[in-house]
Every structure is written in C-alpha cells, then in structure tokens.
Amino acid sequence: MAATPSPGTSRADDVAALSYEQARDELVRVVNELEQGSSTLEESLALWERGEALARRCEEWLIGAKARLDAARAASVD
C-alpha cells in the first residue's frame, strides 16, 4: 500500500523527502500491488503514477551517488 503524505504536503514533496531505501521499498510494494491485479483502474493508475515518481527518486539518488564516487575518485588522483 502506498504511503500517504502528511497534511500540507503534496505527493511530490512526499517522494522528494524519501531516502533511497524508503523509495525502493515502497516501489517494490507498488509493483507487487499492481501485479496482483486486484485494484480498480483508477487505483492502478494512481499506483502507476506513484511508482513512476518513486523510480525517478531512486534514479536521482543513484545519479547523486555516482557523482560523489566520481568526485572522490578524481580527488584521489590529484
């Protein structure tokens, strides 16, 4: 089941605040729920959109981690 944002926050703010592990774990739950096929069309669309946002968040974390590693490698060469 997808986490609901706190009052006063949007779904995008909710996803932006997640750590990599939180986003990954929720994405796994979303995919499992979609694979069960027991949701209505509207629920499935909402889950799909949430999954897309979670996947983007995971990608942001991974890109950031790669940049940090690249910077650390470049600094160790200098």
Query: How much is the pLDDT for 10?
Result: 56
pLDDT of 19-39, one tens digit each? 999 999 999 999 999 999 999
Q: Is the dihedral of CA 58, 59, 64, 67 positive or negative?
A: positive
Q: Residue 60: pLDDT band by 50, 70, 90 thresholds?
A: very high
Looking at 1.10.287, 1.10.10, 2.120.10, 3.20.20, the CATH number of the domain 18-77 comes to 1.10.287
Q: Closest Cα to residue 24, out of 54, 44, 52? A: 54
Enter the pTM of the model. 0.78
Residues 74, 64: Cα–Cα separation, whole Å: 15
Ordered by start, the domain boundaries in the chain are: 18-77
- Within the chain, how many helices (H) and strands (E) appear? 3, 0
